[in-house]
Amino acid sequence: MTRPYDQGPCGACWAFSAASTLESLAMISKTEPFEELQEYSVQQLMDCDDQNFVCEGGWMYEAYEYVQAHGINLQKDYPPYKGRQGNCDKQQVDKKWHFKNTGMIEHDEMTNEEMKR
């Protein structure tokens, strides 16, 4: 788990939650040869994911779909968290994405037994 962040008055918990779980997924799946957990860019999700509502809330699964299509940059490779939406740097995203969430599908109304499989 990476260090905690203060999202301030911005309701971007969806972006923080999505980035955090993707960091863990990348480490578990070991798609890249790194030894330490990498921090992903919350700001990229806020700038570029047009399915969510930036500081007005959003959904993790929408962020996962964005990352599946476009990838996510390391925090160090994208402008830092501002607590508001900025301009999406699509060239930076395309050039430096670090992880893509592949194979994700959404399952609604699953039972506990179905989730165990």
Residue 11's beta-bridge partner residues? Answer: 56
Q: pLDDT tens digit string along 80-95?
A: 999 999 999 999 899 9
- Residues making up the chain, counted from first to last: 117
Tens of pLDDT, residue by residue over 41-75, are: 999 999 999 999 999 999 999 999 999 999 999 99
Q: Could you tell me if residue 79 is inside a domain?
A: yes
101, 25 Cβ separation under 8 angstroms: yes
CB 64 within 8 A of CB 101: yes
CATH number assigned to the domain comprising residue 47? 3.90.70.10
Residue 3 lies inside a defined structural domain of this protein: no
pTM: 0.85
Domain count, the chain: 1
* Tokens (6 digits) for 11: 């309701």
Q: Which residues contact 41 (CB under 8 A, 6 or more apart)?
A: 19, 72, 73, 74, 75, 77, 78
